[in-house]
Amino acid sequence: MGKLEKLSSKFSQDMYQDGVKKRLLPAKILLQCVGFWPDDELPYGQIIGWLLFLFLLVPEIFNAAYVVIHCKDISEAVNVSITVTTFFEALVRMYCVLKNRHVLNGILVKVWKQFWPVKCLDDGTRTHFERKSLVCLTMNVCVLLVASFSNTIIVSIPLFNYHQLILKSIFPFDWDKNYLYELIYMWQYFADWYDLFLVMAFDFLFVALLMTCATQCAIWQHVMRNILNETSKEHRRLIFGEMGNQISDKEMLRHCWEQHKLLNNICNDMESIFSITLLLQFIVSTTANCAAALIMKLDSSQITKVSTFSAGHIIQLSYCCYVGQELIYQSEQLSNAIYECNWHLSYDRDFRKSLVLMMQRSQKIQCLTAANLITLDFASFVRIFRLSFSFYTLLDSLVEDPAENGI
């Protein structure tokens, strides 16, 4: 396995010049803050990563044990399961990055050095995609703010309740003693905030990468449509610099072929990296919305905490499905772009044969799935809500109405 390539100041400077690629920079900042940016700048980064993994794993085990022991009390189990699923979500993301550091590093290097600039698009289309990428970033920031507000409530409640922990846990020792309680509380406090920023840093990276790939598909379409007219000369200069003036139509077609292959490989790599994480995201979103609705019905005093928690998960699921749908749509248009390239103006038989092969290759739609079970698109977004309502109806029928019990 090769050495990780540095993604430092030169990476940031080049990314900032591109209106879409620069959306990766907030992800870089957040991942560097939590120690999971996939390059070699952090000494002993892999070892530190696994130590941080254990830092979250231990409280997760005791928190999950509490849910198992209190499983007969459905309302209590559902309430505590909120933190269990959130920590589990973070652990899976940590494992994903630690296991695939080299693959992620390779993807980022290719995006940095081999993706074509957004300037290849016409002004209107370029502005359109820059705005789309900004919308995705804004949604990420909204979830971060909502999650921070909800988490502030969660970690503050124990301060007003003597000797209560942030995470309800089962310990094989008397944790209620002075100093020991304070130590565990501080451990959980920092773990809880670290968990939040880790999950959000991962989401910033995932959404920005997917949106960049979708935009690259659109750039490829624009370049391909104009490959036989005067606009292509400007494209070649933007992509290859002064060398672009010497590139023939046939050579440009070969570069388009290679770029299409690069896009397919990156999408396949992202599928292998994020597949299990997406499956977990769907499961967590389903259980989170179901649990939030049930808790709000059983305990109206928690409505602020739970409603912000639920809103964060809804927005989180929506931006994942949004970029997934955008990638599907743009990859569907690749074959149309090939057909619309004025191929009838070229009498080169090899050129036409290459176009046919490229059209056949582009018939495969690029998409991300959750363990090959659920496609990341708007249809899945709707299905998650239907499934959440079904689980809520089931749990609601199992939990007695508090009013009937005089509660």
**In the Cβ-directed half-sphere of 197, how many Cα atoms lie within 13 Å?**
18
Structure tokens at 213: 């790939």
Can you give the pLDDT at residue 390? Answer: 85
Can you give the pLDDT at residue 286? Answer: 86
Dist CA 172 CA 213 (whole Å): 49
Give per-residue pLDDT as tens, 318-376. Answer: 999 999 999 999 999 998 898 888 777 776 788 888 888 888 888 888 999 988 889 99
Can you give the pLDDT at residue 376? Answer: 92
Phi, psi of 374 (to 5 degrees): -130, 130
pLDDT band at 21 (very low <50, low <70, confident <90, very high): very high
Spatial contact of 240 and 354, defined as CB atoms under 8 Å apart = no
Per-residue pLDDT, averaged over 204-233, amounts to 93
Per-residue pLDDT, averaged over 268-279, amounts to 92
Q: Is pLDDT of 281 > 60? A: yes
pLDDT band at 407 (very low <50, low <70, confident <90, very high): very low
Dihedral class, residue 152 (left if φ above 0, else alpha if ψ from -120 to 50, else beta): alpha
Model pTM?
0.91
Give per-residue pLDDT as tens, 148-196. Answer: 988 888 888 887 776 788 888 888 887 888 788 889 999 999 999 999 9
Q: Which residue has the higher pLDDT, 151 or 44?
A: 151
Can you give the pLDDT at residue 41? Answer: 65
Strands 374-375 vs 369-370: parallel, antiparallel or unpaired = antiparallel
Q: Which residues pair with 321 in a beta bridge?
A: none
Q: Which residues pair with 302 in a beta bridge?
A: none
Q: What mean pLDDT value characterizes the chain?
A: 87
Looking at this protein, which amino acid is placed at residue 13?
Q
Can you give the pLDDT at residue 402? Answer: 47
Dist CA 146 CA 156 (whole Å): 16
